[in-house]
Amino acid sequence: MARRGLIAIVSLAVVAAGCKSAPACPIQTRTDPAKALEEHAARQQGWKSLKAEARVTQWADRGRIRGTVLMFLERPSRVRFDVMTQLGPAAVLTSDEESFQLSDLRENVFMQGPTCPENIARLLGIAVEAKNVLRLLTGDTPIIDADEQRMECRDGNYVVSLLAQDGSTQEIEFAVDDADRDKPPAEQRLTLRKSSVRAADGKLQWKATYDDYTSVEGQLFPTNIRFVDHVHGADTQVRVKSISLNPDVPSDAFQQTPSPGMAVEVATCP
């Protein structure tokens, strides 16, 4: 009996050691989802343009693809992505809000057409609008047009739940700064950690996670972003190596023309 009792105590100790308790919710919890979303949006307005270098990994039907990407982003929706190799650029995607161009330098093909999620996904594997690509890469999130909003604290984080008229839902999760857990709700700083959207039937459409934040000129940016597109079967992870804010952006940075000898194709949208 004593031996069995000792074994039980040791087993419980091992289990307890392996379990990590979730952080506690703040003593005074936030309850206003609109206020939380407004504060988050306001914190995103401290910069106009951004230059960054990132290591991007994609998992899709064609297997895993990895590469270094140089990014120019200008709010609200101008983007440029240069996929680099040791020998120089392999592909360049540009969008100036309306027009889209993709230079595939390996296949010597130039594609052009209107900007739409399907064309953005040709290179990035992220089938969303250009303005939402910019949001996802900089610690922001697309938000559905919701008729209902609510907010609760789960496992120490705040979760804003949105319900649209068509039945689709979104959950946006914010972490609370550890130094603010004893502060009043109005003084609690929130950092975006997750965002996901489900269709009316409950099927997950996409999910984004944001980790390893860094401060650049007083602005916080995630350096580890993962976006899983369940509709198109794509999974993209972005590990940001460097960020500079409001750089000098060349006037032609967001448009391209085909190089001599390139085959030109029209990139249509559904």
SS3 call for 248? coil
State yes or no: pLDDT of 18 exceeds 60.
no
Give strand ranges (E) for the chain: 49-60, 63-74, 78-85, 88-96, 99-104, 109-114, 146-154, 157-164, 169-176, 190-198, 204-216, 219-229, 234-245, 263-266
6 assigned to some structural domain: no
Q: How many CB atoms lie within 10 A of CB 193?
A: 19
136 assigned to some structural domain: yes
- pLDDT over 90 for what percent of the chain? 73
8 assigned to some structural domain: no
Structure tokens belonging to residue 119: 């064309």
| Residue 2: predicted pLDDT | 44
Report the phi/psi class of residue 212: left, alpha or beta, with left for phi > 0 and alpha for psi in -120 to 50.
Answer: left
CATH code for the domain in which residue 229 is found: 2.50.20.10
Q: In this predicted structure, which of 30-34, 51-55, 59-63 has the lowest mean pLDDT?
A: 59-63
State yes or no: pLDDT of 259 exceeds 60.
yes
SS3 call for 117? helix
- Identity of the amino acid at 205: Q
Q: How many domains does the chain have?
A: 1
206-243 tens-digit pLDDT:
999 999 999 999 999 999 999 999 988 889 999 999 99
164 assigned to some structural domain: yes
203 assigned to some structural domain: yes
State yes or no: pLDDT of 6 exceeds 50.
no
Which domain covers residue 191, as residue numbers? 24-266
Query: Mean per-residue pLDDT for 241-246?
Result: 96
147-196 tens-digit pLDDT:
999 999 999 999 999 999 999 999 999 999 999 999 999 999 999 999 99
Q: Compute the distance between CA of residue 201 and CA of residue 166 in angstroms, rounded to an integer.
A: 10
| Residue 270: predicted pLDDT | 82
Question: Please, are residues 173 and 191 in contact by the beta-carbon 8 Å criterion?
Answer: no
18 assigned to some structural domain: no
State yes or no: pLDDT of 60 exceeds 90.
no
Query: Mean per-residue pLDDT for 117-127?
Result: 85
Mean pLDDT across the chain: 89
10 assigned to some structural domain: no
135-145 tens-digit pLDDT:
999 999 999 99
What burial letters (b/e) apply to 133-166, b meaning 16+ CB within 10 Å?
A: bbbbbbbbbbbbebeebebebeeebbbbbbbeee
Decide which of 63 and 100 is more confident: 100
Which residues contact residue 44 at a Cβ distance below 8 angstroms, ignoring those fewer than 6 apart?
A: 135, 138, 139, 140
13 assigned to some structural domain: no
Q: What pTM was computed for the model?
A: 0.86
